Copies of this chain bind each other. A is one copy, B any other.
Amino acid sequence: MDVPTTTSSPLGSRAVVAVHPSGDAAPELLDPTLPALYIDDLAAVRGDGVFETLMVRDGAVRNLDRHTARFINSAAMLDLPAPDTGRWHAATDLALEHWVASGGGDGSLRWMYSRGRETTREPTGWVTVAPEPPAVARGREQGVRVMTAQRGYSLDITKDAAPWALVGAKTLSYAANMAALRYAKSHDLDDVIFIGDGERVLEGPTSTVIMARDRDGVREILTPLHEVGVLPGTTQAAMYRLAGEAGWTCSEAPLTVGDLRNADGVWLLSSVRRYARVTALDGTPLDRPVCADEIEDLATRAAEGR
C-alpha cells in the first residue's frame, strides 16, 4: 500500500527508470530531480494505463511472478500491448541497482505502463523506487480504523457485461479510490473497505480484505470472491499458500459486513504494508484475537516472498 498523503521524501531520493515499453531503446536511468513525463502522456491526461506496486526488501523485489502476472492481465484488460516482461524486469533490476547504490533501504517499487503520448502513439512506462511511507508502518504496527463504503458500481456489471468498466484491472484511474481514503481520513479513520449490494464485501482502495475464524477446532481464512470485481491480491495469494501449509483452511466466499463483524480478526493485505489489522469497523471495536500473531507472521512471510 502506498497512500500518497503520507509521503514526504524528496524526489531526489528516488530511483526512476524509463522502460521504453516498445521500440528498440533499452531501459534508461533518469535523473529523478527532472521531469520525466511529457504533458500529453495519457497516464496524466486520462489515467489511461496500469500499474503495480512491489515491496522492496533487502535490495530485491518480492512476489515478482505474481505481480508480473497481474500486470499482464491489467494491460490486456486495457488493450495495451502485452508488456515485454524481460524489459520490465531489466528496468526493475536497473532501478534497484541504482536505489541500493545510492543508499536506499526498504521501500516500494512501482511499475507504471501508459498508453503513451497523444503525439507519438507509443506506449510509455517507468519503474520508480521510493522509501516506505511512514503511515504504512504505522498501519502495520497499530492497526487501522476502517469504514465501509459503497463502491458505486453495480455488482451485476461484471467485466463480461461491461468490459469498459475495467473492473479488476489495476489502472492509473484511481481518483475514486483516493477520494474514499480522503473521506475516511476526514472522519478520523484510517482506511476503507468497499462494499456492494447487500453489504457484500469487496476490497480496500489499495488492499485485499481477509478474515480469520479460529474457534471450535476450525481454523479458516476467508477472502471475498474474485467474481464480484475484486482485484486478485498478490500478498493474499502468497499467504494462502503458506497458511494452507500451516493447517489453515483458505477459501474465497461471498462475505458480508456481518461476516467481518463476527470474525475473529480482519486484516487488509497489500504488498508494501504487508498487513494492517482492522481494529474498528464502522465504529465497532474488533479485539486482537489470539491468532493475530500467527496471521501477521504469515502475511509478512507472504509479502516478503521471493
Contacts and interface: CB of A to CB of B under 8 A. Distances in A.
Contact of A78 (B9, B40, B171, B179): B179
A44 B37 contact: yes
The interface centre, meaning the residue of A40, A47, A179 with most chain B CB atoms within 10 A of its CB, is A47
A275 B150 CA distance: 35
A121 B205 CA distance: 20
Interface in A171-199: 171-180, 182-183, 186, 192, 197
A117 B36 CA distance: 13
Contact of A163 (B126, B183, B197): B183
Contact of A128 (B39, B115, B173): B39
A16 B44 CA distance: 14
B40 A38 contact: no
B175 A46 contact: yes
A116 to B, nearest CB: 9
A43 interface: yes
- Which secondary structure dominates where chain A touches chain B? mixed
A167 interface: yes
B41 A44 contact: yes
A39 B177 CA distance: 20
Interface stretch (A153-161, A266-274, A278-286): A153-161
Q: How many copies does the complex hold?
A: 2
Given A35-B37, A117-B11, A118-B7, A47 B112 contact: no
A32 interface: yes
Contacts of A130: 40, 118
Contacts of A51: 45
Interface string A252-275: 000000000000000000000000
Given A37-B37, A118-B4, A154-B154, A46 B164 contact: no
B172 A8 contact: no
B78 A39 contact: no
A48 interface: yes
Contacts of A14: 39-40, 119
A103 interface: no
Interface string A126-167: 101010000000000000000001111110010001111111
Choose among A165, A166, A171 the residue with the greatest number of B CB atoms under 10 Å from its CB.
A165
A42 interface: yes
A175 B47 contact: yes
User: What are the 3 closest A-B residue pairs judged by CB atoms, nearest first?
Assistant: A47-B47, A173-B173, A152-B165
Interface of A: 4, 7-11, 14, 16, 30, 32, 34-49, 51, 78-79, 110, 112, 114-115, 117-121, 126, 128, 130, 149-154, 157, 161-167, 171-180, 182-183, 186, 192, 197
